[in-house]
Amino acid sequence: MEFTSLNKCPLCDSDKIGTFKKGTINTENISTDDFKITDSTYGSVWAFSKCSSCSFVFSNPRIDEKSLIEFYSELEDNEYTDEWEGREKNFRTIIKRLEKIEIPGKKLLDIGAASGIFVRLAAENGYSAEGIEPSTQLAREAGEKFGIKIFEGTIDDYSSSEQFSVVTLLDLIEHVNDPAEFMNKVSPLVKKGGVLVIVTPDIQSIPPKFLRNKWWHYRTAHVNFFSLRSLSFLLKRSGFTIEKKYRYAWNFSFYYVLTRLFPSLKKRKGLQKVLKRLNLKLQLFDSWEIYARKN
Ligand SMILES: [Zn+2]
């Protein structure tokens, strides 16, 4: 693992950067488990800098990309697919919203597809849908559980002869070590007039201000954070115009939420069955769901 200290904003190149947060992560000890989607150890934060020009918040020093990708490819997350019904509900909203805007065709690519929950839903709704996922376990599970083929790897390993009418980055961009460079690779995959969907935490929202390090989006896997301003900046420089924006609502089982708060409840097997059946929709106004059109 290598760490690089940045003296400029990796998004807009400005040198007007300052400390945003002191880190609590012991970089000697991080492992692949810290990158689980369902990681329940909150309050693990990187040392973050903030750019006063574009408002981008980024981990500084920054982990090298190779190590980060290795963590994801080795990742095993059984709890994630367990919670697929809640996740599917979140994603249904996205399918509905896509129906309401004009899209040039039905070819969809989901980057960071995990076990393919969204890809399957898109396919059921008439899309020719593909996914990319670096975790061997999650990509395999997509095939075993849902019968979907997910490309195992990252955007660097992937190539497509055709462009897509829709590309989705659902809870992904905050995990990527250099979002500007990443978007340079995503943009050519989207057709002119096509739509990019981004769901990501909003660092300018209220919850991180009063929950501080307890904010549920502060976790090892999140190496950078956006506000509407920095997200707009990123999209504009990558050739997109924001068309619609919403506050993303999360659907979880009661069990999932309770075990985030009280991890010891995981031992109470009897409770699990009941609590997993109860669904909860959380609107915390702390994530963005953005629909942007390729110029
Ligand atoms: Zn900046």
CA of 125 to the centre of ligand 1 (A): 38
Residue 274 has pLDDT above 90, yes or no: no
CA of 82 to the centre of ligand 1 (A): 38
pTM given for the model: 0.88
CATH 3.40.50.150 for domain 3-294: yes
Do the Cβ atoms of 55 and 17 come closer than 8 Å?
no
Nearest Cα to Cα of residue 20 among 46, 54, 53, 2: 46
How far is residue 45's CA from residue 91's CA, in Å, rounded to a whole number?
27
3-state secondary structure (DSSP) of residue 7: coil
Average pLDDT, the chain: 88
- The domains of the chain are located at 3-294
CA of 79 to the centre of ligand 1 (A): 36
Q: What is the band of 192 on the pLDDT scale with cuts at 50, 70, 90?
A: very high
**How many Cβ atoms are within 10 Å of 145's Cβ, its own excluded?**
14
Average pLDDT of the residues in 53-57: 97
Residue 144 has pLDDT above 70, yes or no: yes
How far is residue 148's CA from residue 163's CA, in Å, rounded to a whole number?
20
Per the listing, tokens 């929202």 go with 205
CA of 9 to the centre of ligand 1 (A): 5
CA of 174 to the centre of ligand 1 (A): 15
Choice among 121-125, 133-137, 184-188 with the minimum mean pLDDT: 133-137
CA of 4 to the centre of ligand 1 (A): 17
Q: What is the band of 34 on the pLDDT scale with cuts at 50, 70, 90?
A: confident
Average pLDDT of the residues in 1-25: 95
CA of 73 to the centre of ligand 1 (A): 30
CA of 234 to the centre of ligand 1 (A): 10
Q: What is the pLDDT of residues 201-233, one digit of tens each?
A: 999 998 889 888 888 888 888 999 999 999 999
CA of 58 to the centre of ligand 1 (A): 10
Decide which of 244 and 268 is more confident: 244
